Amino acid sequence: MHLNRLILAIAAIITVSASAADPALTIYRSDSDALFEGGSAPIADGHAIVHEQRTLQLAAGKQTVIIDGLPAMLDTEAVAIDLGAAARILAQRMVSAGDAGVLAAHRGERVQVFGANDKPIADGVLVALDGGNLGVRGSDGRISYVRDFVRVQFPEGSGLPGSTLQLVLDGKAGAAPATLTYPTAGLGWRAAYSALLRDDGACKVQLDALASIANRSGRDFPAATLKLIAGAPNFAKSSGGPRPMNMRSMAAAAAPEAMPEQSSLGDYRSYAIDGDLDLPDASVTQVPLYASRELPCERRWLFESGGAWFPAKPMLSPEGWQNGGGPVQSQLKFSAAENLPSGNLRVLTRDKDGRTELLGENRIGDTAKGRDVDVNLGVAFDLAATREHTSFDIDKAARQMDEGFRITLTNSGETARMITLREHPNRWRGWTMLSSSQKPDKQTPDTLEFRIAVPASGKATLDYVVRYAWTPNDE
């Protein structure tokens, strides 16, 4: 028997609603900015597993039970229900609100419609929505289309927004505990880091780590037990959904009494949040991820020319792109004292007036404990670099060419800087250093790296020459 026929066949059986208990949520990390932007509409990004207990007041025999107030973004194909020995599930139907609004999730339920002066104008099963009109099937089987109504009431259900689960049961009379487990979109979390830089002689950062938890599922989760999963598991269903509108609220939850308990979950990391938290719909809640900690760090300034690349054969003509210059990047490096899930890192400093100001922000990937965190803060205003092609000599018979450059670094600031200069000789993969005004600090098959001291309000130059060589088979 088809699900629709089965539900309609027993529509006369009394329908009861279910009361909800405190849920437990396992929320996976999400890289979706849309989840964390302002908006009130449910969104199909993010992933969470919801475990919740409901109490069903059952009659004896066949009946329809309404479980409402479920997330608008839940996976309708993956809802698991455990009723124990209290009832046998004959069929289940998930009705989602979708784009039609709150009422759409309650199709198939009994509805009472009231007009002006609170006068009843329809009583039956909600079967259709057409713009501002409702289709209601009465007890005689006829469908009435109702418009210009003032109030809608659900006698057996709560009429809560979100999705509605309609169960066809063969049960025993009495209260029956029900365990619901289902995945839903609209929930996600990511790490939010703040690093206050102290640059008074020795480089140190005060690192604060928070977990930002977004709820755009279309449902509130009061007094929820939370477990956060760091890692990147595969999900079969793609993300999409509407773009956000206006955020209803921003929830700043009180700090838990203890830091999250960290453990392994398969190939991922699990963070169990201490205590229960309210997660209102259309909100972002932040809780501490780790205790604040001071860490040693390293400040760097980098000028890099080109990249690690080699052509298919030696490049023999002197191209003009060898001249020019570029920005000097301001960078920060420190070692992770804990496992750091991916998220956004804001680097701050205190100005002379004592106020905390932003130096730069960037995204960091999942970083295991003990690994380095490299953050590109932006372009240094007081630092500049120019690059001049000083020589180019080629001897085709000997299959070799020599090429020289001069890099000039200027510092208009009040503090001396040690600038890392990174060059990539890439006319051909076979090359050697002929001469250099300063010995390179690092040399690899595709990189030359120098550390150049540049005084305050001054400049420094570097001259070097490399020799390329090749064989007849390379031509």
The predicted structure's pLDDT at residue 95: 75
pLDDT digits (tens, 9 = 90+) for 81-116: 999 999 999 998 887 655 455 666 667 778 888 888
Six token digits for residue 14: 């009394």
Percent of the chain at pLDDT > 90 equals: 55
Which sign does the torsion angle of CA 451, 453, 456, 461 carry?
Answer: negative
pLDDT digits (tens, 9 = 90+) for 172-221: 999 999 999 999 999 999 999 999 998 777 899 999 999 999 999 888 89
- pLDDT tier at 1 (50, 70, 90 boundaries)? very low
Contact call for residues 171 and 184 (beta carbons, < 8 A): no
Distance CA 325, CA 455 (A): 19
- pLDDT tier at 392 (50, 70, 90 boundaries)? very high
Query: Between the CA of residue 170 and those of 12, 59, 65, 192, what are the distances in Å?
Result: 14, 9, 10, 49
pLDDT digits (tens, 9 = 90+) for 426-466: 899 999 999 999 999 999 999 999 999 999 999 999 999 99
Residue 244 has pLDDT above 60, yes or no: no
Six token digits for residue 168: 């066809």
Q: What is the dihedral of CA 432, 435, 436, 440, to 10 degrees?
A: 30
Q: pTM value?
A: 0.74
Q: State the Cα angle at 408 between 405 and 413, rounded to 5°.
A: 165
Give the type of residue at 196. Answer: L
Give the type of residue at 169. Answer: L
Closest CA to 422 of 250, 304, 256, 287: 304
pLDDT digits (tens, 9 = 90+) for 283-301: 999 999 999 999 999 999 9
User: Mean pLDDT for the chain?
Assistant: 85
Rounded average pLDDT over 234-248: 43
Buried-exposed string 93-132: b where 16+ CB fall within 10 A, e elsewhere: bbbbbeeeeebbbbbbbbbebbeeeeeebbbbbbeeeeee
- pLDDT tier at 3 (50, 70, 90 boundaries)? very low
Question: Higher confidence at residue 337 or residue 18?
Answer: 337
The 8-class DSSP code of residue 100 comes to: G
Distance CA 364, CA 351 (A): 25
pLDDT digits (tens, 9 = 90+) for 19-72: 455 799 999 999 899 999 877 778 889 999 999 998 888 999 999 888 888 888
The predicted structure's pLDDT at residue 62: 93
Closest CA to 135 of 107, 160, 159, 154: 107
- By CB atoms closer than 10 A (0-12, 13-18, 19+), residue 389 is middle
Domains contained in the chain, CATH given:
3-184 (no CATH), 306-338+374-474 (2.60.40)
Centroid of chain to Cα 240: 14
Six token digits for residue 123: 């009583």
Residue 238 has pLDDT above 90, yes or no: no
Task: State the residue for tokens 């392994």.
Answer: 264
